[in-house]
A = this chain, B = another copy of it.
Amino acid sequence: MIDGCPPRVPLEVEEIQAELDRRRPGQSHLTTPRQEEDCAQILSGVFEGQTLGTPILIWVQNKDARPSAYDQLKDVYRPSHADFTYEAKYGIRNWQGGGRASARETVGRVAAGAIARKILRLAGFGEIVGFVSQVHSVECKLDAMQVTREMVEASITRCPDTEAADEIVRRIDDARGRGDSLGGIVTCVVHDPLVGIGEPVFDKLEAELAKGLLSLPACKGFEIGSGFSGVKMTGIEHNDAFYEEDGRVRTRTNLSGGIQGGITNGEAIVLRAAFKPTATIRLEQETLTTDKKPTTLEASGRHDPCVLPRAVPMVESMVALVLCDQLMRQRAMRISDDFNDRSS
């Protein structure tokens, strides 16, 4: 359910489906073998190919749900999963599939993200290109600014560096064979963003982006621009010198990652998100039953040995949703443009 979408945005269900297909389980041998076809239907909020400005309900039925597959999890806490914390927080838990703690909930984010991306594109933003920049210790060697969506989609790993991609396939196959799992990093670039987007002080753009990404399942870290590597630089090395180009204010470097003081400066937004290895693995693990008795767990079920390839559309979607929200807030704040002469 998407509330707050502007009216008169041209929208076809195929645009949503295209993004869902990138997130869909079973899209390659690297992902979970669950066959969720994730077919989207728009039930409200769109009329004759345009959004109405009223809530949009998108319906994605899970036709491959197997609640019985979770029977073994009724009385046991999966390590590094949310079973224990949900039970502690709510005093009750639906053990038949992870409920809201299942990464399946990201289907909604990606569907909404598809609409947000459309709005950003129409509003003048450039492309949002996410890609797998690391799996385990295998790193993508390409310059993030040069990566295109075509390069990303060329590999089932969504790593655009073909050499690294081959090694990633081997590592994931190996992890699956052992019943283990791997983590990694998604890098995301927003090309040519509008200038002036972001709502200081508490809702700075990087703050909202960090929140959006850390709300994704398995995300453990976030960087904007230079991120953690920037701490080893000095001020003179890190500052992005301003210059003029074609009448625009530009910066020589972009260690700020396109955001200064919480607001876009027009340079590309560059961010990275770290994802831990999937918690559900086949290997035997020590854990507790729900009545706190020691036990061991060898999870069966159909799980991704590495979520990274499917995480790319999730990251892009969260970035798009945050930007779209901030774009609308910026437009509200600039109501005075509707009645003031601009002299700047």
Spell out A's residues near B (CB within 8 Å).
1, 4, 6-9, 47, 50-55, 77, 79-82, 84-94, 99-101, 105, 119, 122-124, 134-137, 175, 180-185, 195-198, 200-204, 206-215, 217, 219-228, 230-244, 247, 249, 251-252, 255-257, 259-266, 274-281, 283, 285-288, 292-294, 327-340, 342, 344
Q: How far is the CB of A199 from chain B (nearest CB, A)?
A: 9
Count identical subunits in the complex: 4
Task: Write out the residue numbers on chain B whose beta carbons fall within 8 Å of the beta carbon of A200.
Answer: 54, 82, 100-101
A47-B93, A80-B260 given; name 5 further pairs at CB < 8 Å. A8-B340, A85-B195, A85-B198, A183-B230, A231-B277
A331 touches B336 (CB 8 A): no
- Which single member of B207, B234, B257 contacts A181 (CB below 8 Å)? B234
Contact across chains for A287 and B242 when beta carbons are under 8 A apart: yes
Closest to A101 in B: B261
A7 and B236 form a contact (CB under 8 A): no
Instruction: Give A57's nearest chain B residue, CB to CB.
Output: B1
Knowing A204-B215, A210-B210, say if A84 contacts B288 (CB, 8 Å): no
Contact A207 B196 (CB under 8 A): no
Between A and B, 17 residue pairs with Cβ closer than 8 Å are A50-B92, A55-B100, A90-B196, A101-B262, A136-B231, A180-B235, A181-B235, A201-B215, A207-B212, A210-B214, A215-B262, A221-B221, A221-B222, A223-B228, A228-B274, A231-B276, A231-B277
Q: Among the listed B208, B277, B337, which residue makes an inter-chain contact with A235, where contact means beta carbons less than 8 Å apart?
A: B277
| Candidates B8, B82, B261, B274; contact of A92 at CB < 8 Å | B8
B204:A214 contact, CB within 8 angstroms: yes
Given A196-B85, A215-B262, A222-B214 in contact, is the A286-B231 Cβ separation under 8 Å? no
Residue of B nearest to A76 (CB): B242
* Cβ-closest chain B residue relative to A286: B241
Query: Would A281 and B236 count as touching, CB distance under 8 A?
Result: yes
Q: Which residue of B lies closest to A343 (CB)?
A: B91
Distance to closest chain B CB from A225 (angstroms):
6
Q: Given A214-B224, A220-B223, is A335 in contact with B328 using a C-beta cutoff of 8 Å?
A: yes
A180 to chain B, nearest CB (A): 5
Identify the closest chain B residue to A53 (Cβ).
Answer: B90
Interchain CA distance A262-B227 in the complex, whole Å: 23
Question: Pick the contact of A211 from B51, B89, B211, B283 — CB < 8 Å?
Answer: B211
A180-B235, A338-B331 given; A286·B99 CB < 8 A: no
